[in-house]
A and B are shown apart, each in its own frame.
Chain A
Amino acid sequence: MNIVFILSALIASTVAEPVDSTLASSQILNLLNTESRPQSMMIPFEEIRIHRIRKEPLRFAGIMRINPALGISVAYSEPEETTFILTSGGLRIRQEGKPDQTAPEEAGKLVQVFLDLLTLNASILSEQFTLEETMEPSGWTLTLVPSDPALLRHFESIRIQGEHDWLKFITIEHGKGRRKQMVFRSMPLEWDATPEEIESFF
């Protein structure tokens, strides 16, 4: 059983309820949430992990699938095949030849944050984060700083960057010399999922 992944959730304290804050509007999130944006989509990604203990960053690659009804499936293809399935019910990890591993409930709230982020749920995000937007001719940057101290234990900030309606980077600053960056080199593709694909990725 691969339970290592869920460890951070075990160690971390339970995330507290969202703080009450004024609902902010985000130009960038509105920009991304256009009607032309496919509801069910797939996006190839590259992930770069930077840790102060390593001289060089680690690189991963895979395809992210987003289905508003089911959740998000992050299927790593390199260096090994592993799929993270994030749903409203929590997090599961799927690996070939092994039973699905379910993260404990304590991980659920953290998973929900990422679900809201990747499905661009502006209203919820603005409740849990302080949003800071920068619009430049070369592109835009939206920085999300957790309002909740419990979330701050996991990351100091999340920065998403893009151009027009193309989300190009998600950078998670963990602090203490750790950073994670997801790079989307292409626009999301519409994913007309077959039942077999849904079964395979969710």
Chain B
Amino acid sequence: MKNHSRNISRILLILYLGVMLVLCLSIDWKHALSTNLFDLIDTDHHLPEEAREAQSILQKSLSKEISLIAIPSDPAQLPALKSVFLQGVRNLKPVAEVTCIGDMPTPGSWMADLFEHKHLLLLPDWWQGVSEGASSPISDEELRGIADEAAASLDAFLQTPESTAYEAHVDGDPLLLIPSLLSGLSGTSPNPSGVPRIEISAQLKEAPASSESVQTILRDIDTLRATLIEAYPGVELLDNGYHRYASESESLIRAEIPRLNLLTAALTLVIAFVFLRKPLILLPILSVLVMSAGGAFVITLLILGQIHVISLVIGSILVGIAVDYSFHILLKREELQTLSFSETLFRILVPLLASCLSTVFGFLVLLTNPVTAIQQVGWLVGIGLILALSLSALTAMAMDRPGKIQLSRLLSFHPPLKHFRWDVPIACILGLACGVLYFHRSIEKDDIQDLQIPLTKAPINEQRMRSLSGDLTTRNHHWITIGSSISELVDRQHAHLTKIPPDSGIHALSLASILPSQDAVDRFDTFLQSDGQTFIQHFASALDHRGYDPEAFEAFLTAWKALESQPASDETREGIYRKLAAALPYPLTHLANQSGDHFWGMTLLQIPEDHAPVESDGSSFELAPLRTFNQALASYRKQVTFSVLSAAVLVTLACFVVFGFKAGTRVTGIPFLAVTFSLGILAIIHPVHSLFHLVGALLGACIALDYAVFVVQSKDRHPPVSIRISALTTLASFSVLATSRIAAVSDLGLTVVTIVAVGWLLAEYHKLESE
């Protein structure tokens, strides 16, 4: 190789390293890696636009929630521990809001509004409750019965010791509207578990999306634990939340990445030592791998801002594929000795580019995939392959003493087989049969949890926390309802809740738990106009009969008369609803929210474990991330199937155009048969098809096409040895992926291994002598 070519190559390599160094400095490394499973996939496109936005907001908000339980060694410590514990959680830097389970939300303007407008807000639902089953129009006897019942309830309430707290307000609220409301709202409190404890629910300032934020939360909780133990020896502090799952998932995945990479590297080294006579040639190969993988990571980070660790795991395949280019180029170094820089580039790149581009094309198709993880893999591997190809060429040209790569004789074996006469039609029939068998036998599997290693510690921790909270028998379900106004939103929530049987054991908490439906408002207004005065007379009589002075309830009577004389307009109600909704404190914040010109509200349903799921009525949607993501995955799988088939048709046509009919048939036939035969094998050993199998099939087909181009173009009687060494390294790297504990990665690896193995066999068979 001429000196100036070597110098240009070296300058370019130094420039590359310098640029990468500068790019590295411009990256926000704290947030470079994501561990959040929800970052891997977009929200559900089946939902209306408004619901998707609400779902996204609520999902992010829920991932900010953490639960903490402190269990003192001595129950007598509970009261003192509570204030220290609460203060300790409040002092945690990442924490924004704190509430103690069992305490009411912080009083504020919402409570003041509720008190001020209690009659307007709560009387419609009260009337709906007490008049249920009454005749229409209501008889005087029924009215008297309702009045008697109301007076009896007041009397019973005041006979309780704890009524002392409300007795200052009963003259304005003898129907006990506020106590009934608060009692209803408290239906969502946890059950007793017999363990003296303090439960705290906190909301973080930010969702723990990055590894850094997860570690900060864990460190802060550890510090809090140490503080509590120092003050109250023997106290136990448990915590649960997204951070626990993210932490365990991250630690498992972090262990998985080096395991996969080390295994891949080890197997590659073994292959090199076995099949290369001078294993030291591996040094430039390894430097190419490090530079291309590192460069791909940095550039992808710059483009996308953040990469999920799962994408990095899948991206490990880059190492296995990139090593092929180094082998190809270094095997050609001997003939590059006397060429100029441009001649060398032409000599190296043209044949390699033909095969490389088909693989890169496969990965570029991934960029159109709606699944974030697959897009990230597309960027990572696509960029990595281009870099690997360029850097292999530059490294080969930059070396001082190229020497000669001597391959082991093992790679030059001659299979003792021959073509037989009806091989092509039989292969085609068999291939089709395999395809049919696969789609007949395999089951669809769209599970977002395949993207992570099954967790053990976090679910056990959650189970223990739930057991302590005494709510093992129920599950929380979050629903979203949309409306153009709060009144409409509440109406829809009421409509949804009326479909739940009252005896189902389901507790609900939503804005509809506080505010009445339009129907209830209309019914109450009708009652007020026709029978309001009669009811008040009966109520006064009943109070008097039970030993009360009816005239002492003047605050209530004044409010009643005001409503009678001037019922509240819809606009007035909506105004009060909005004011109340805007002032709701944590943890009631998500009962009502405004997004643009619409409102959305959350309904929390506590559903018994053995209860059938609650069905959507078309205006309320359940926030079920796993189910939603699985549905999205299924939908994406269908889209990707279409994209892949379209790409396959395009590539086939292009092959016929470039190589002509005869060679084109062979170039496309090898990957086609490799894929269909592999499907037959998978139908027997792993009859499942998912998005990740599909991506694997795409990659496998690209690599098999790569081999097909080489063997069909080669004039040699045997397949190029570079294909053999390339196939061995590819098989090694994807076999390692097939052993991954991440189901998606394992599925992808297994599919690629099967297709590449069959593709390689077909390439070998293609070069056999005919009978």
A contact set with B: CB distance below 8 Å: 1-11, 47, 49, 51-56, 58, 60, 62, 70-71, 76, 79-80, 82, 84-85, 87-90, 92-93, 98-106, 108, 174, 176-178, 180, 198-199, 202
Contact = CB atoms under 8 A, between A and B. Distances in A.
28 contacts: A1-B102, A3-B104, A4-B182, A4-B183, A5-B165, A5-B166, A6-B103, A7-B169, A8-B165, A10-B111, A11-B107, A11-B111, A11-B115, A51-B170, A53-B548, A53-B553, A54-B548, A55-B547, A80-B161, A82-B162, A85-B79, A89-B81, A90-B79, A98-B192, A105-B86, A105-B103, A178-B168, A199-B76
Contacts of A199: 75-76
Contacts of A76: 161
A35 B186 CA distance: 46
Contacts of A1: 102, 183, 186-187, 189
Nearest to B100: A102
Interface in B155-173: 157-171
Nearest to B157: A4
B179 A7 contact: yes
B191 interface: yes
Contact of A92 (B79, B86, B160, B178): B79
Interface string B103-130: 1101100010001000000000000000
Given A5-B165, A9-B165, A202-B76, 11 more contacts: A4-B179, A6-B165, A47-B161, A52-B171, A52-B549, A53-B170, A53-B549, A53-B552, A55-B549, A70-B76, A102-B102
Given A54-B158, A93-B162, A10 B104 contact: yes
A84 B164 CA distance: 12
Closest 6 CB pairs of A and B: A89-B79, A1-B186, A5-B162, A99-B192, A87-B79, A10-B107
B83 interface: yes
Interface string B181-224: 01100110111100000000000000000000000000000000
Contact of B168 (A8, A87, A101, A102): A8
Interface in B42-96: 75-76, 78-83, 86
B162 A2 contact: yes
A84 B548 contact: no
Contact of A7 (B82, B103, B165): B165
A87 B191 contact: no
A3 B81 CA distance: 21
A102 B75 contact: no
Interface residues of B, number: 49
Interface secondary structure of A, over-half rule: mixed
Contacts of B170: 51, 53
Contact of A3 (B167, B186, B552): B186
A4 B163 contact: yes
A23 B385 CA distance: 84
B166 A4 contact: yes
A198 B549 contact: no
B76 A180 contact: no
Contacts of A2: 162, 183
A112 to B, nearest CB: 12
B267 to A, nearest CB: 59
B544 to A, nearest CB: 9
A106 to B, nearest CB: 7
Nearest to B544: A55
Contacts of B86: 105
A74 B553 CA distance: 30
Contacts of B161: 47, 60, 62, 76, 80, 82, 84
B176 to A, nearest CB: 9
A149 B348 CA distance: 90
B192 A4 contact: no
A54 B546 CA distance: 9
A55 B155 CA distance: 12
Interface string B527-564: 00000000000000000000111001100000000000
Contacts of B190: 99
B84 to A, nearest CB: 9
A58 B183 CA distance: 23
Contacts of B192: 98-99
Nearest to B182: A3
A3 B182 CA distance: 7
B102 A80 contact: no
A56 B168 contact: no
Contact of A178 (B111, B165, B167): B167
Interface in B435-472: 470
Contact of B79 (A53, A71, A93, A177): A71
A57 B437 CA distance: 86
B164 A54 contact: no
A102 B82 contact: yes
A98 to B, nearest CB: 7
A8 B79 CA distance: 20
B472 to A, nearest CB: 15
Nearest to B108: A10
A70 B74 CA distance: 12
Contacts of B82: 89-90, 102
Contacts of A198: 76
A80 B166 CA distance: 17
A89 B78 contact: yes
Contacts of A11: 107, 111, 115, 169
A146 B167 CA distance: 21
A76 B163 CA distance: 13
Contact of B164 (A49, A79, A89, A103): A49
Nearest to A62: B161
Contacts of A89: 78-83
B619 to A, nearest CB: 30
Contact of A101 (B80, B102, B115, B157): B102
Among B111, B158, B164, B547, chain A packs the most CB atoms within 10 A around the CB of: B164
Contacts of A100: 102
